[in-house]
Amino acid sequence: MFESFRTKGHNAGLPPGTLVCPESSGPVGPVKITLIDYNKQGYTEKEIKRIEDCFQAKDSKTVSWINIDGLNDIEMIEKLGEHFGIHPLILEDVLNTAQRPKIDEYEDYLFIVLRMLKYNEETESVDSEQVSLITGKNIVISFQERPGDVFGPIRDRISKGKGRIREGGADYLAYALIDAIVDNYFIIPEKYGEIIENIEDMLIREPTPEIFQSLHNLKREMIFLRKAVWPLREVISTMARGESKLIHKTTVLYLRDVYGHTIQVMDSVESFRDLLSGMVDMYMSSMSNRMNEVMKVLTVIATIFIPLTFIVGIYGMNFNYMPELGWKWAYFAVWGVMISIACAMVFYFRKRRWM
Amino acid sequence: MFESFRTKGHNAGLPPGTLVCPESSGPVGPVKITLIDYNKQGYTEKEIKRIEDCFQAKDSKTVSWINIDGLNDIEMIEKLGEHFGIHPLILEDVLNTAQRPKIDEYEDYLFIVLRMLKYNEETESVDSEQVSLITGKNIVISFQERPGDVFGPIRDRISKGKGRIREGGADYLAYALIDAIVDNYFIIPEKYGEIIENIEDMLIREPTPEIFQSLHNLKREMIFLRKAVWPLREVISTMARGESKLIHKTTVLYLRDVYGHTIQVMDSVESFRDLLSGMVDMYMSSMSNRMNEVMKVLTVIATIFIPLTFIVGIYGMNFNYMPELGWKWAYFAVWGVMISIACAMVFYFRKRRWM
Amino acid sequence: MFESFRTKGHNAGLPPGTLVCPESSGPVGPVKITLIDYNKQGYTEKEIKRIEDCFQAKDSKTVSWINIDGLNDIEMIEKLGEHFGIHPLILEDVLNTAQRPKIDEYEDYLFIVLRMLKYNEETESVDSEQVSLITGKNIVISFQERPGDVFGPIRDRISKGKGRIREGGADYLAYALIDAIVDNYFIIPEKYGEIIENIEDMLIREPTPEIFQSLHNLKREMIFLRKAVWPLREVISTMARGESKLIHKTTVLYLRDVYGHTIQVMDSVESFRDLLSGMVDMYMSSMSNRMNEVMKVLTVIATIFIPLTFIVGIYGMNFNYMPELGWKWAYFAVWGVMISIACAMVFYFRKRRWM
Amino acid sequence: MFESFRTKGHNAGLPPGTLVCPESSGPVGPVKITLIDYNKQGYTEKEIKRIEDCFQAKDSKTVSWINIDGLNDIEMIEKLGEHFGIHPLILEDVLNTAQRPKIDEYEDYLFIVLRMLKYNEETESVDSEQVSLITGKNIVISFQERPGDVFGPIRDRISKGKGRIREGGADYLAYALIDAIVDNYFIIPEKYGEIIENIEDMLIREPTPEIFQSLHNLKREMIFLRKAVWPLREVISTMARGESKLIHKTTVLYLRDVYGHTIQVMDSVESFRDLLSGMVDMYMSSMSNRMNEVMKVLTVIATIFIPLTFIVGIYGMNFNYMPELGWKWAYFAVWGVMISIACAMVFYFRKRRWM
Amino acid sequence: MFESFRTKGHNAGLPPGTLVCPESSGPVGPVKITLIDYNKQGYTEKEIKRIEDCFQAKDSKTVSWINIDGLNDIEMIEKLGEHFGIHPLILEDVLNTAQRPKIDEYEDYLFIVLRMLKYNEETESVDSEQVSLITGKNIVISFQERPGDVFGPIRDRISKGKGRIREGGADYLAYALIDAIVDNYFIIPEKYGEIIENIEDMLIREPTPEIFQSLHNLKREMIFLRKAVWPLREVISTMARGESKLIHKTTVLYLRDVYGHTIQVMDSVESFRDLLSGMVDMYMSSMSNRMNEVMKVLTVIATIFIPLTFIVGIYGMNFNYMPELGWKWAYFAVWGVMISIACAMVFYFRKRRWM
């Protein structure tokens, strides 16, 4: 998720609305366009090769969903924009894949930018992809960076006529897409919740610098998660306010539901942030705790033996006249004194709870 | 309370409004339905087996309270929803037991989600259960996850005709239920207040890692308590604003009262958070304090005896020509020197307040 | 002030509006009722025994101030409420002495809850008492937990006809009471300002755990002071907004003045919080400073004498063949070497500023 | 600046509007009154002895500026208030020199309280004085605590007819006074900017407790600077909103300009606060850094020589049968062993970068 | 970027609107004036020597862009202001190069102040220059402190008629200039993102005081970046609100786009701040970690050898009667005892994971 760090604007210097192919982070295959047309009665789905093949969708009475996977065919996107009357700034934003989630209301359509987040079990981090939705009357155009998405169940519901989706308009479809994206957000705090619990357990058992490193990484992930989810609240609340004539009253209820979901995700992210900063405190405290432990052992050993070593040093001196050296029981007396001192010290340390 | 960590949305991929049985955290008995019907004149309470038995409540003139304990009979809930004209999204939210407290206004009813919190003396933590209220004209439907609730006194007031409850409508009943839940919140800060006082005392007497662990746990509990109570403010202020035609003016006064209560609970939680973070500082400071103590003892012992040991070492050397060795009072002179050094050191440490 | 920690709602389970005697924290004498009646022309003040004796105040044209010290005579309060038409929820709030400052606007009166704070020189902490005001047309009813208040000067002004008070209505009287309470708040930051200055001086001279404890206690006091004063802003700004028909335009000017005072108190509390957290940093830093001092002494002594002790140890060995032992000036040479080493070390420590 | 700590309200107990002489922090000379009268055509300036001498200003057509230095002649201020119809609460606020900057709008005049801040090069701190402005139609009355102000250039502009000032009304004069005060604020962050830079340099070179003390003092100064400047934003934005009929449209432009200046000062103060807290971190880190340094030296010396001292101790034992003692090259062999150990240790410490 | 620290107001004491030459931080050449005139049909660009040469732009129908590099010719700026009817306060702000970004709406023009930021690869810091825009009907006047800007591509688009620019009015030109400036902001977080990643890597490998110093410097840079970008949000949102009659509806769409960009930059800056403070924690924790390491080595060595040194000290005593000294295998027995003790200690330290 780290790459989303580097925000990129459109290439500075170009006139606004100039389309520039996004630097793809990995190999990207050819652009794939799918057109789904449906109404209450029926449904057709086809993959199309030339963008012109979906131009009739503009005037058809059925709801059309044009999904575009891959953003490197600029010419095609320009044609699309021209035919459907999409503002060049929107097309520029579609191609700029470091957008902040946002909604722009135009006369004939809504333009919505979202982040599709997927927890990647392998890398144990979150994959992020930008999804742009253009919602007009009877038409939804969605742009994705890569093939592979979370919209499978929606396609399924359309094809099988499950739920309300075939009865709803383009606004309901847009809602369904947003809902699918937001529903997948829930998996992320769930995963992180588990990870945080594990780290907490480890922290209690034995804090290591590695655990602290994990804490730091988690904090960083939360910063980015927050950055992706926070603006979404505004996007959806703008839609749910019901002021746009493109959104039906019945859909507003559903949008309010999604709104609740985003707040719930945000709540979790905020709680995690609080928890993590508590755990940093905990790490720090157990560090200084361990230091205390180490120091106590050193102090106990040193303060017991240093005075004794001094005593034995005394009787190692070679003065000609040292009366004690000749006494018969002197050696044993010294032992006695030393044992007494050691015991007194141990007793003192016990009392201070250093042992 | 930790489990509320893992926020779960509705099963990603299903059409909105699809009902899914909540994963119960423990064994859940069969669903229990109670119907209470009352007006100024009279009152009936019965447990019903088939949901259809309460369908007549829809059109009766009396106020009906349908209470449902247990959420695993999806078919029953679907029937209920259909008969009373409840939006599928609401039913979905009822079953999704990780909801954030919220209020949704529909044409004919208000949908309210709350958390019922109970301090569990045994586990010394807070048990949390989701309560959903659907308030219509003359009807309140309440859903609980498990049997056992805080509504006993309300049932009592209805049956005995105590207070205003029999004269009020469904909105007053809804208020009474919310009030009962919020009243039980007060017990929690009271309990935590005691615990925090105890920990503070222990912290002053002797800080241990265990106490720090308790501090950390309390902070975590506060995060969750906050998460449960904070959104409630908005829920109740929405109701108390008096814009819904389902809420009578007289009830608004009562709701404003509950609103004051929730703010009071929030205030306490915020104060606790501040206090706890002050206590973390205190723990840290007393840690470094103890370290100082340990270091001082080590330093005092070591700096007194290390030079003395050096001196006795000198006269343990075996050089053939060491004039002092032959002097008569040398041994005692060395003792004198050593005692003087020790005294000077002790004096120095006293002055620096290390002893 | 710690006791205000434990927020108590009305006894959970009772119908709203049920009056429960507040748990008094100390012995409370019998309830004392005072009735002051005044207008421009004249003034009467009497202590009354039976609450019924002040019932005529309701319809009199003069301004009546009924002051009630002590909240344990529930029956009396109920009678009062009934006669003057006070909502049961208000009476419940009057008796619940852990209220947050608030204002509730009813049709015929304003209900205001405040905290009367007094700095107790003996315990060096702040005493807190709840004062409830019910302000109607021509009548103000005030409830206090205990006898003893800050209203003496107001009684004086009424009796002597000083200032505008006899010309003003009930709203001006309510203002005067609030003003008297807020004016006494100013003494508290003044006191704390002195205490904080003292602690700061001590912190610079010699930081001890006791000072840190004081810091912690002050922080706690600030949390509670803030909790008592913060909501007051809203209370007074609500009154000063001038929307209530119970408050005259001329009084609004005075209320705006009190509003300014509360903001000033809040400002001080916030500054104190900032200062205190800066002082915690200072304590921590001087702790680690002292540790550094201790460590330096240990290090200097140990690193000078440990090598020297090693050297004298060498010539304490009993090998048969150790050429140096026979050399004439060896002993003095060793002394020379040791003194050189010691001087070099001292020079090195001086350079590093450890001595 | 520390004294502004102790907020003082009006003497608790006195009726509102009672005038009390402010406790002067130093010796205050007699009150000095200056009256400046001007219009486009001409200008007169005179120092007056009796307040009655400026009473004619009320009805004159020229703009009058009455400036009063010193607040201890209460009788005079009362007369002034009575003649010009100033609300007693204003007069009370004028005399209460611990006011928060504020604006109060009355029917016929605006009452503005400001803090005049001057950086005192000698004490290296900020001197603060309260300035109150009463702006009516054609009249501005300004009150200052002490003689000496920043208004010299304004008097100059009036007398010489420079700029717009002689053409503007009383509102423009008020603006000019506020502008002069705010312009002097800019000098303060500039000074502090330099101080902070110096401290930062010293912190990098050698952190001492004295520097930390300076940091702490700067933080405290910032708290007070903020307290003085922050409310000013609101004061000026209230004026610049242009709702008062006392402020001409042309003046509003100028006020918006001053508003920009106050925001700029606030921005600097906030940046300084951020910087200072970063510098506290820096101090703390370099403290623990130094501790590390000290510990490393101790550890290196102790761990090299303690084992060696043990070895020489062995051959200092007096057992009758110790074969090594008789070996010819034993002494030199022991030297060899000890040098090897020392070298190995040095090598190990080098690797760990402790040397 | 540090110099922007020292905020400077206009010279205190001068009448508002007095023009003062900004203190230039480096050598500044003569003022350079460029006039670009264009409309849909054509385009002319000329460098002019006397300001009077561009006065005809005021009444021409084409869009005129007067760009002024260098602010030291006050006389020229005064003439310009007089001819185009620009308020003296604006001219003063143009010359005061420490302005906060702001927008002021006047009757006939908008006055916009921005910061042009450029990442300087050489000094590895950000260069900042103030750009002021005066946008009227058909005219844009831009002021820059120094020659050299980011407007090259715009000049290019005008001359070549690329994009919409020749069709748009003065408001579109103003937008284009702002857009060019904001686009260059994106490069800065990108650069800092890289630097932060590098520092993070170094921090994990080996934390040094130098890295902490870099962290501190980065934090400072962020404070200033924030100060430069934050107010921009308000500036652009004010413009995009579309209330000014000087801004066409079509341009509003573009402005909303720039608004999105500024928010994105702000988001990055905020994330960086969070990251940096996490990294400070990380540095602190690894510091105390290292201390722990050092202490452990000292403790292990000291606690192993100090008791052993005591033992060998015992048999170095010179008492006449010490039975062990005569025993045959005593010497070897002592070795055995010492090795056992050492092994036991090592075992204990292993168990505690100190070795």
Q: Please report the DSSP string for B258-308 in residue order.
A: HHHHHHHHHHHHHHHHHHHHHHHHHHHHHHHHHHHHHHHHHHHHHHHHHHH
User: Dihedral, CA atoms, D12, D13, D17, D22, nearest 10 degrees?
Assistant: -40
Q: Where are the alpha helices (H) located in chain A, listed in sequence order?
A: 74-84, 88-95, 152-160, 170-185, 187-205, 209-240, 249-314, 323-326, 330-351
Query: In the β-sheet with E102-105, what is the strand arrangement from edge to edge?
Result: E43-48, E32-38, E63-69, E139-144, E125-135, E110-120, E102-105
Is A319's Cβ below 8 Å from some Cβ in B?
Answer: yes
Nearest Cα to Cα of residue A151 among A124, A123, A114:
A114
Residues of E whose CB is below 8 A from D281: 216, 280
Question: Is the pLDDT confidence value at D5 over 50?
Answer: no
Q: Please report, for chain D, how many H helices and E strands are present, in that order.
A: 9, 7
- Each residue's pLDDT tens digit, A151-209: 988 999 999 888 888 888 899 999 999 999 998 888 888 888 888 989 988 888 888 88
Window 209-238 of A, Cβ < 8 Å to E: 209, 212-213, 216, 219-220, 223-224, 227
Q: Where are the alpha helices (H) located in C69-149, listed in sequence order?
A: 74-84, 88-95
The SS3 of residue C108 is coil
| Beta-carbon separation of E292 and A290 below 8 A | yes
- Each residue's pLDDT tens digit, C242-282: 788 888 888 888 898 899 889 988 988 888 988 998 898 88
Residue type, B133: L
| Beta-carbon separation of E5 and D193 below 8 A | yes
Residue type, A236: I
The SS3 of residue D106 is coil
- Residue that the structure tokens 């006091």 belong to: C221
A130 phi, psi to nearest 5 deg: -90, 130
| Beta-carbon separation of E193 and A16 below 8 A | no
Q: Which residues of D29-51 are buried (b: 16+ CB within 10 A; e: fewer)?
A: eebebbbbbbeeeebeeeeeeeb
**For residues D265 and D190, what is the distance between their CA atoms, to the nearest angstrom?**
10
Q: Dihedral of CA D311/D316/D321/D324: which sign? A: positive
Q: Where are the alpha helices (H) located in A4-104, listed in sequence order?
A: 74-84, 88-95
Helix (H) or strand (E) holding C147: none
- pLDDT bucket at A342, cuts 50 / 70 / 90: very high
Among A2-6, C129-133, D286-290, the minimum mean pLDDT is found in: A2-6
Who's near A220: CB < 8 A, 6+ residues apart? Answer: A2, E275, E278
The average pLDDT across D122-126 equals 81
Who's near B126: CB < 8 A, 6+ residues apart? Answer: B1, B117, B118, B119, B120, B188, B221, B224, B225
Window 58-87 of B, Cβ < 8 Å to A: 87
Q: What is the mean pLDDT of chain C?
A: 86
- Residue that the structure tokens 């423009």 belong to: D172
**For residues C225 and C268, what is the distance between their CA atoms, to the nearest angstrom?**
11
| Beta-carbon separation of D291 and E291 below 8 A | yes
Is C323's Cβ below 8 Å from some Cβ in B?
Answer: no
Cβ pairs D/E, distance under 8 A: 169
Residue C178 or residue B51, greater confidence: C178
Q: What percent of chain A has pLDDT over 70?
A: 94
Is C346's Cβ below 8 Å from some Cβ in D?
Answer: no
| Beta-carbon separation of A153 and B316 below 8 A | no
DSSP letters along A319-345, please? -S--HHHH-TTHHHHHHHHHHHHHHHH
Who's near C293: CB < 8 A, 6+ residues apart? Answer: none
A135 phi, psi to nearest 5 deg: -115, 115
What phi-psi label fits residue C161: left (phi over 0), alpha (psi between -120 and 50 degrees) or beta?
A: left
Residues of D whose CB is below 8 A from E2: 197
Who's near A216: CB < 8 A, 6+ residues apart? Answer: E278, E279, E281, E282
Residues of A whose CB is below 8 A from B212: 282, 285
Angle at Cα E14 formed by Cα E12 and Cα E17, nearest 5°? 110
**For residues C263 and D233, what is the distance between their CA atoms, to the nearest angstrom?**
15
C36 phi, psi to nearest 5 deg: -115, 125
The SS3 of residue C296 is helix
Helix (H) or strand (E) holding E106: none
Helix (H) or strand (E) holding C205: helix C187-205
Nearest Cα to Cα of residue B210 among A277, C209, A286, C213:
A286
Compute and round to an integer the Cα radius of gyration of chain E.
34
Who's near E348: CB < 8 A, 6+ residues apart? Answer: none
**For residues A54 and A47, what is the distance between their CA atoms, to the nearest angstrom?**
10
- pLDDT bucket at D23, cuts 50 / 70 / 90: low
Q: How far away is chain A from the Cα of E195, in angstroms, using its nearest Cα?
A: 11
Mutate to test the interface with B, among A159, A184, A232, A306 (most CBs of B within 10 A): A306
Q: What chains are in contact with C, requiring at least 3 Cβ pairs below 8 Å?
A: B, D
The SS3 of residue A32 is strand
Q: What is the mean pLDDT of chain A?
A: 86
Q: How far away is chain B from the Cα of C280, in angstroms, using its nearest Cα?
A: 8
**For residues C312 and B316, what is the distance between their CA atoms, to the nearest angstrom?**
8
Is C252's Cβ below 8 Å from some Cβ in D?
Answer: no
The average pLDDT across D42-52 equals 88
**For residues D254 and C146, what is the distance between their CA atoms, to the nearest angstrom?**
55
Given a contact cutoff of 8 angstroms between Cβ atoms, the answer to whether A57 and A136 are in contact is no
**For residues B287 and B281, what is the distance between their CA atoms, to the nearest angstrom?**
10
pLDDT tens for the 355 residues of chain E, in order = 344 444 444 456 677 777 777 765 445 567 899 999 998 888 899 898 888 888 888 888 899 999 999 888 888 889 999 999 998 889 988 988 888 899 988 888 899 999 999 888 888 778 889 999 999 989 999 999 888 888 988 999 999 888 888 888 899 999 999 999 998 888 888 888 888 989 988 888 888 888 888 888 899 888 888 888 889 988 999 888 878 888 888 888 889 889 988 998 898 888 898 899 889 888 888 888 888 888 889 999 999 999 999 999 999 999 988 888 888 889 999 999 999 999 999 999 999 888 7
Given a contact cutoff of 8 angstroms between Cβ atoms, the answer to whether A12 and E183 are in contact is yes
The average pLDDT across A210-234 equals 88
Window 131-160 of D, Cβ < 8 Å to C: none
How is residue A46 annotated by DSSP? E
Which residue of chain A has the CA closest to E185?
A9
Name the token pair of E32.
């350079």
Count CB-CB contacts under 10 A for residue C269: 22
| Beta-carbon separation of E289 and A209 below 8 A | yes
Question: Is the pLDDT confidence value at A10 over 60?
Answer: no
Given a contact cutoff of 8 angstroms between Cβ atoms, the answer to whether A273 and B108 are in contact is no
Given a contact cutoff of 8 angstroms between Cβ atoms, the answer to whether A159 and A43 are in contact is yes
**For residues B317 and C333, what is the distance between their CA atoms, to the nearest angstrom?**
13
Question: Is the pLDDT confidence value at A336 over 80?
Answer: yes
Please report the ipTM that was assigned to this predicted complex.
Answer: 0.79
Cβ pairs C/D, distance under 8 A: 171
The SS3 of residue E43 is strand
Mutate to test the interface with A, among E285, E288, E305, E352 (most CBs of A within 10 A): E285
pLDDT for residue A245: 86
Is A191's Cβ below 8 Å from some Cβ in B?
Answer: no
**For residues E261 and B69, what is the distance between their CA atoms, to the nearest angstrom?**
51
In chain B, which stretches have pLDDT less than 70? 1-13, 23-29
Q: For chain B, give the number of residues.
A: 355
pLDDT for residue E13: 67
Who's near E111: CB < 8 A, 6+ residues apart? Answer: E90, E93, E103, E104, E105, E132, E133, E134
**For residues E343 and D237, what is the distance between their CA atoms, to the nearest angstrom?**
78
Q: How far away is chain B from the Cα of A195, in angstroms, using its nearest Cα?
A: 11
* Global pTM exceeds 0.95: no
In chain D the domains, ranked by start, together with CATH numbers, are 2-285 (3.30.460.20), 291-351 (1.20.58.340)
